[in-house]
Structure 1
């Protein structure tokens, strides 16, 4: 239905152009004005009839044609979907996405916001982003998800130690996922 507002605007502009004050002298009907009014009225009625009779032919049909701003190829966003699928459904999650930081490599950096968005969808909006610079109160969260380009034991242990010291929580490792794209994620259970 992308073209409908534009067509309605053009039709109404043509129709209402004929009703400008001073367009014709009072009491005198101009043949040119009548033809313009009739064409404007007919085009508006025709457009309205088309919308009512053929609702799926005038633009995008959201029931069949999905709007995707990234194009038709889902492959570039597949790593973000696979990472988001590692998060438990409907649980509250704190996400530390290393790909938002300046020293992260480009494959994950291009997908950083997409991963965050998909995680928020999966958790019904109960996800919160954090970083090493902004660690707030985590009392209402169930899990901590670390997303990065290195999930070596030493790296995960340093992240875990940092979080436990600053937040006064205990992180219990649950799972680590290594994606084929080089992105990895590690999920921890938060205990107060």
Structure 2
């Protein structure tokens, strides 16, 4: 564990982080802030989510022109608020991340589009389903991992069920199942990367609804 990937945030952790951050090259600092925030988000602990949010806000405030890290920073804010159950704010940040990527297509692309789409379906905001459908088709060609394909196909199946298009709903349900049960990623190396290790029960129930 490095000084910028700690999953605790004691006074000593904080002091060490900022001492080392100050000593690091300026162009590396946004990455360190983001990476440390991600490690704290992964703990799913409320107090550490607060710290992670503070680190992300520091990144956005002090390095507003950092194109490389901005989209993922906004995505992480969405993750933080989703964990807190504040879906409205989570969706706002995911949307900001998506919009940034649309304006800056050469910047690193995140999974914000998928997190946004999942949350729209989970909260049953049917008025936004056409927007989600378009968003998924726009990004579909860039998706290669079975877990992503499983989620996208599941979401599309739910949307088409809502539209009473049972043929397409069934078509995408079958694609979702195929990817959910895929045993390998298709890569020559790291064959288990991106396979579905834990299915989304709430989403599976919606897909199977007739």
Normalised by the length of structure 2, the TM-score is: 0.21
Pair member with larger Rg? 1
Point out which structure has higher relative CO (alpha carbons under 8 A, 6+ apart): 1
Which is helix-richer, 1 or 2?
A: 2
Normalised by the length of structure 1, the TM-score is: 0.22
Which is strand-richer, 1 or 2?
A: 1
